[in-house]
Amino acid sequence: MSNDHNHHEESFFRKYIWSTDHKIIGIQYGFTALFFLLVGFSLMMVMRWQLAYPETRIPFVGSIFGDDGILLPEIYNSLGAMHGTIMIFLGIVPLAVGAFGNYLVPLQIGAPDMAFPKLNAASYWSYLVGGLVMMSSFFTEEGAARSGWTSYPPLADIEVGQTIWLIGMIFLITSSLLGSMNIITTIVQLRAPGLTWMRLPFFVWAQLVTSFLLVLAFPPLEAAAVLQLMDRVVGTSFFLPSGLVVSGELMEVSGGGSPLLWQHLFWFLAHPEVYVLILPAMGIVSEVIANNSRKPLWGYNSLVFATIFLGFMSFIVWAHHMFLTGMGTAMSAFFQTTTMIISIPSVIILSALFISLWGASIRFNTPMLFALAFLPMFGIGGLTGLPLGLAAADIYLHDTYYVIGHFHYVVAPGTIFGLFAGIYYWYPKITGRKMNESLGKLHFWPSLLFMNGIFMPMFIQGLAGVSRRLWDGGLEYAHASGVFHWNEFMSISAWLLGLAQIPFILNVFYSIFRGEKVDNNPWESTTLEWSAPSPPLPHVNFETLPTVYRDPYEYSLPGRNRDFTPQSEPKKNK
Amino acid sequence: MKIRIIGTLIIMVLIGVGYAADVKGKITFDGKAPKMKPLRMDADPVCVANSDIKPRKEWLILDENNSIKNVLVFVKESKSGSLADSYDTPKESAVIDQKGCVYVPHVLGIMVGQTLDILNSDGTLHNIHALPKVNKEFNKAMPRSKKQMSVKFDKVEAPFKVKCDVHPWMGAYLGVFDHPYFAVTDDSGAYTISGLPAGKYVIEAWHEKLGTQTADITVDDSGASQDFLFKKPSKKK
């Protein structure tokens, strides 16, 4: 392919704002998603004040919440619902798929761009509009959504604030659908010559399976969101039953709908969504571990097949979120069986990554530290999920802080650590400079410590039966009195975790200008993106499009003069 | 000149006094007084501790003469065009308190645009959930630390329920009027609508369970009197 595009002068607006270059779109996704992660995290830091010191004035920002400076229950509910929504739909998924997928998939498969560049831009702008719509709800008279990130009817059908949430979700889902179709097409159609399926970096496999999950699971939720919007706006009753009594009053609704239908449609997306959150992080961690252990990934084939199986199984476990709805023991038995089965590929992936470390000469740089921390953190998150997958145990643990601890271990020190590993690892490719190692370690160690400080006590509170979504953290409940004091410990950990992100934010901006300049392949890596210039060339990525001759992780192979052999390096004729 | 002006003013005041009078009456219940069960507040120990007496259900409060408390009596219509087009909104707030985990008062009338101060004298979490059909519904929490909040209603509305979702026995009723001619019966079932200009009116007595009754009255210099007799509504077949 000719590199003529590279010489074509583009205006600033065209180049950096209204761009169709997958790298710019990836960066746009990245910065937007990091901003939203900060917003979502900030909401939680405010909520944690109320949980630790109920009904006392919130320092610094109290005046936002009224003259008393106290977080009232309805605002607490809004912050809780929006925290979940923002972190998942505006933060992690756009960062994991929109940013990393966009930036890296074409580079790792040796393609000049995504298959549909304009669709790619449309995906980002739809995401941004969805995000802005969501955020605008904070400034409306009704306020933001307050029916949980799950938007369960009938509450979500009648409670204020949910209309804008639903409109925002429709934009966000559209964005994800456009993005994931693009990734699938790109991987299928635009792989470099010689890049066979089993030569794909594991990260690309993770993105491929993730994209299939998004494409297949999101449409039912998009349809459901439209139906719920109609329930709220035009008086339909898709999710409202006849004879609905709310607050002791008979609701004037046409009825005949089913609240449980929403739960099925929601979890049909939202359980695969868990794997949408975790698979890209697993992909990133795999790349970082292979590179920094200087060994091929152990069991590459097992990893790939386990991931495909995981993706398939993720579509038939959703109702384990609904054991308490009274759907019957036969249904519960089926879904708890599939849930136990899906833990097998997760264990295969985690085991393969652990075994990959065996006997390695590990480079303990910042990306590797985050990747290494991911393994036990995700392990805790995964293993604590098993009791929730069994109906008998779930009846007790459902809707307690145990659940919150479980999924936050998966998503926060799990996925987010994986994403941090990826940012530190690929930053030199994006900017041509490395991030500062000292600041990186100052980011990592406190983050690891305080993440556990927040989420580990949640298991203790949950096992004591403390419900999630309690505005006062359990203060008024006798059964919570023995574990209430943990709230202060968790809250202080959360605020310190917030402080621990300052070195990261400084590092991102500082290193753009002052980071150590590096060549195209500073980590001595094997995959194709490292054969491109840093940063890769606009629109075409590579000086000349590469051809692939090797497996993705040829590290420390005997008889080689270096401990790594790039995929694009031709094999010598014997 | 001064004497003329003062004389005119005195005459105008006298005329004014003569043309505004009180409507009084008493409302009684015809039938055997039902036995009102005590409220069970055990779910919240703070409620039990804050209640001076053992509270009873409030849907029908009678005295020994079967006089009914908490009936809202108001001018529904003027047949002689005696009501002004608009009335000034009172500067003083109407007040409803959450005390001992019941609403005090149980029935209240306020004017459009008048401030309603909602108090929480209990050291526990209440939420005040208004269920109007015409005005905007609201549902605001009042934790123990929030002792007061204020709301206003923009439109005239027949009495609607206000409730607490934390303590399901708590309920109050609120009517919103565009004139000041309304009153709620006291412990002895008596009411007084003050300062009503002379003329012909339809007044309505509203009770949360016993329904409504209307009466045509004529108000002259000496005012008017109108009693109401409520019966237990027949059970629906």
Quote the tokens at residue A531: 């054969």
Q: Which residues of A441-470 are buried (b: 16+ CB within 10 A; e: fewer)?
A: ebbbebbbebbbbbbbbbbebbbbbbbbeb
pTM score, two decimals?
0.90
Confidence band (pLDDT; 50, 70, 90) for A14?
confident
By Cβ distance, the residue of A55, A74, A476 closest to B140 is A74
DSSP A148: T
Which is nearest to A473 in space by CA: A55, A62, A50, A45? A50
Mutation for B interface: A68, A250, A252, most B CBs within 10 A: A68
The C-alpha atoms of residue A465 and residue A181 are separated, in whole angstroms, by: 43
State the complex-level ipTM.
Answer: 0.78
**A521, two tokens:** 């392949």
Contact A318, A260 (CB under 8 A): no
Mean pLDDT across the stretch B161-177?
A: 94
- Average pLDDT, stretch B14-27? 74
Confidence label for A1 from pLDDT (cuts 50, 70 and 90):
very low
- Model confidence at B3, pLDDT cuts 50, 70, 90, reads low
Tens digits of residue pLDDT in A197-209 = 999 999 999 999 9
What the block records as the tokens of A376 is 């036990």
- Examine the pLDDT at A5 and tell me if it is beyond 70: no
- Integer Cα distance of B135 and B227 in angstroms: 31
Per the structure block, which two tokens stand in for A170?
């429709």
pLDDT band at B10, cuts 50/70/90?
low
Q: Give me the pLDDT at residue A2, please.
A: 44
Instruction: Answer yes or no: are the C-beta atoms of A282 and A375 closer than 8 Å.
Output: no
Chain A residue with Cα closest to B45: A476
Task: Kindly calculate the radius of gyration of chain B based on its CA atoms and give it in whole angstroms.
Answer: 20
Distance, CA of A141 to chain centre? 31
Q: Is A38 on the interface with B (CB under 8 A)?
A: no
CA distance A378 to A353: 12
Query: Where does the pLDDT of residue B93 fall: very low under 50, low under 70, confident under 90, or very high at 90 and above?
Result: very high
| Cβ atoms of A237 and A255 closer than 8 Å | yes
pLDDT at B35: 82
Fold classification of B2-231 is Immunoglobulin-like (2.60.40)
One-letter amino acid for residue A495 of the chain:
W
Give chain A's domain count: 1
More confident of the two residues A469 and B16: A469
Q: How far is the C-alpha of A8 from the C-alpha of A2, rounded, in Å?
A: 12
B11 has a pLDDT exceeding 80:
no
Contact B143 A70 (CB under 8 A): yes
Q: What angle do CA A228, A176, A531 make, to 5 degrees?
A: 170
**Block residue for tokens 């739809």:** A126
pLDDT band, very low/low/confident/very high, at B7 (cuts 50, 70, 90): low
Q: Are A406 and A358 in contact (CB under 8 A)?
A: no
pLDDT of residue A500: 98
Q: Evaluate if residue B14 carries a pLDDT over 60.
A: no
At residue A249, the pLDDT reads 80
pLDDT tens, residue by residue, A394-430: 999 999 999 999 999 999 999 999 999 999 999 999 9
pLDDT in tens, B106-134: 999 999 999 999 999 998 999 999 999 99
pLDDT at A61: 94
User: Given CB atoms, is B145 within the 8 Å cutoff of chain A?
Assistant: yes
**Is position A148 within any domain?**
yes
Q: B38-68 burial by CB neighbour count: b if 16+ within 10 A, else e? A: ebebeebebbbebbeeebebbebbbeeebbb
pLDDT for B56: 77
Angle at A442 between CA A437 and CA A445, to 5 degrees: 115
What local confidence, expressed as pLDDT, does residue A432 receive? 97
Substitution target from B59, B146, B160, B163 for chain A, most A beta carbons within 10 A: B146
pLDDT at A11: 86
Question: What is the model's pLDDT at position B105?
Answer: 96
Dig out the tokens for A383 from the structure.
């293993």
* pLDDT tens track for A214-268: 999 999 999 999 999 999 999 999 999 999 998 778 888 989 999 999 999 999 9
pLDDT at A12: 84
What is the average per-residue pLDDT within A127-139? 97
- Name every chain A residue with its beta carbon within 8 A of the beta carbon of B143: 54-55, 70, 72-73, 472
| Mean pLDDT computed over every residue of chain B | 89
Locate the domains of chain B by residue range.
2-231
**pLDDT number for residue B16:** 44
Q: Which is it for the CA torsion B180, B184, B186, B188, positive or negative?
A: positive
pLDDT digits (tens, 9 = 90+) for A303-347: 999 999 999 999 999 999 999 998 899 999 999 999 999 999 999
Mean pLDDT of A64-70: 88
Q: Bridge partners of B62?
A: B68
Q: Does B163 touch chain A (CB under 8 A)?
A: yes
Over chain A, what is the mean pLDDT?
95
CB A463 within 8 A of CB A402: yes
A46-57 per-position pLDDT tens digit: 999 999 999 999
Q: Is B219 left (phi over 0), alpha (psi -120 to 50) or beta?
A: beta
* CB environment A185-212: b (16+ within 10 A), e (fewer): ebbeebbbeebeeebbbbbbbbbbbbbb
* pLDDT at residue number B236: 57
Q: Is B79 on the interface with A (CB under 8 A)?
A: no
Cis omega (within 30 of 0) on the bond before A153?
A: no
Chain A interface includes B190 (CB < 8 A): no
Residues of B with CB below 8 A from A471's CB? 141
> Which residues, in sequence order, are bridge partners of residue A511?
none
Domain extent, residue A168, equals 18-237+257-531
Please report, for the domain that includes residue A36, its CATH number: 1.20.210.10
DSSP string for B172-185 = EEEEEESSS-EEE-
User: Do the domain assignments include residue A133?
Assistant: yes
- A242 part of a folded domain: no
In the stretch 538-557 of chain A, residues with CB closer than 8 A to chain B read none
pLDDT at B235: 66
Closest CA–CA distance from residue B223 to any residue of chain A (Å): 40
Contact A70 B165 (CB under 8 A): no
What's the pLDDT score for residue A4?
A: 47
Alpha-carbon span A554 to A294, nearest angstrom: 9
